[in-house]
Amino acid sequence: MELKVKGLSKSYHQKKVLDGVNFTFEDGKIYGLLGRNGSGKTTFFNAINEDIDIDCGDILLDKEKIDIRDIGYVTATPNVPEFLTGYEFLKFFLEINSEKIPNPKTISEYFDMVKIKEEDQNKIMKEYSHGMKNKMQLLIHIISNPKVLLLDEPLTSFDIVVQDEMKKLLKQIKQEHILIFSTHILEIAMDLCDAIVIIHHKKLELIEKKDLNKEAYKNKIIESLKEEKNV
């Protein structure tokens, strides 16, 4: 499975943010999307998710125009119905999507996937921490099983232990999805991702690792990002 971005451009007023982006993402990999503040990471995600109109270009999934139903978008600010308990929300979601979920698990098994304890399952989500809400948002998208999963800073609200748990979960599901992971924390990207992509000169550029050791690879990424700021 391939997600092809061809000639994607987007401007806001007179400012060009993305300029003729061409890139191919493959399933079975987690792509880390890096860029300086304001470089266009969120614009790129919003373009794929059809949240904004693009100036020109095509976004194709296996040579066909991508269907919004094939996309899951885990936003940096989780959006969950805070008046429901975690259990009520998950139960409702499973019921209304029962025909779309192959081989469904039990509610308890789903909560176990993201390590949400039983006492927290029955709290209203208004009382959840930012990290707990983020877990619920991620869980819903995993259950929905989209072909393309966009993850915008999904781990920054978690402590080190939970980060490790979520990394393992994402690695488990990557074979059946195209995962694009946006973050400003280089260490997380290097630890989790199979490929590092930066927004460079308003385009996407793969930073090749080749035979570099970890420190040399890290320095290569940083130097590329420094160059971007000076453009």
Is the pLDDT reported for residue 231 higher than 50? no
- pLDDT for 166 equals 83
Indicate left, alpha or beta for 118 from its phi (over 0: left) and psi (-120 to 50: alpha): alpha
Q: Are 155 and 163 in contact (CB under 8 A)?
A: yes
Which stretches does DSSP call E strand in the chain?
2-12, 15-26, 30-34, 56-61, 64-65, 71-74, 148-152, 178-182, 195-200, 203-207
CA 146, 188, 45, 84 torsion: positive or negative?
positive
- pLDDT for 160 equals 82
- pLDDT for 228 equals 65
Instruction: Over range 43-61, report the average pLDDT.
Output: 93
Is the pLDDT reported for residue 50 higher than 80? yes
Rounded-to-integer distance, Cα 10 and Cα 174, Å: 29
Is the pLDDT reported for residue 229 higher than 60? no
- Structural domain that includes position 76: 2-214+223-230
Instruction: Over range 117-121, report the average pLDDT.
Output: 93
Tell me: the pLDDT tens digits for 186-219? Answer: 888 888 899 999 988 899 999 888 767 888 888 8
DSSP helix/strand/coil, 122: coil
**What CATH number has the domain bearing residue 62?**
3.40.50.300
134: its two tokens: 């983020």
The total number of structural domains in the chain stands at 1
What's the chain's length in residues? Answer: 231
If you average pLDDT over each of 17-26, 176-185, 198-207, which comes out highest? 17-26
Rounded-to-integer distance, Cα 29 and Cα 79, Å: 26
Is the pLDDT reported for residue 100 higher than 50? yes
Instruction: Over range 153-180, report the average pLDDT.
Output: 84
Q: Which of 206, 200, 203, 207 is nearest to 221 (CA)?
A: 207
pTM score, whole prediction = 0.88
Q: Which residue has the higher pLDDT, 203 or 162?
A: 203
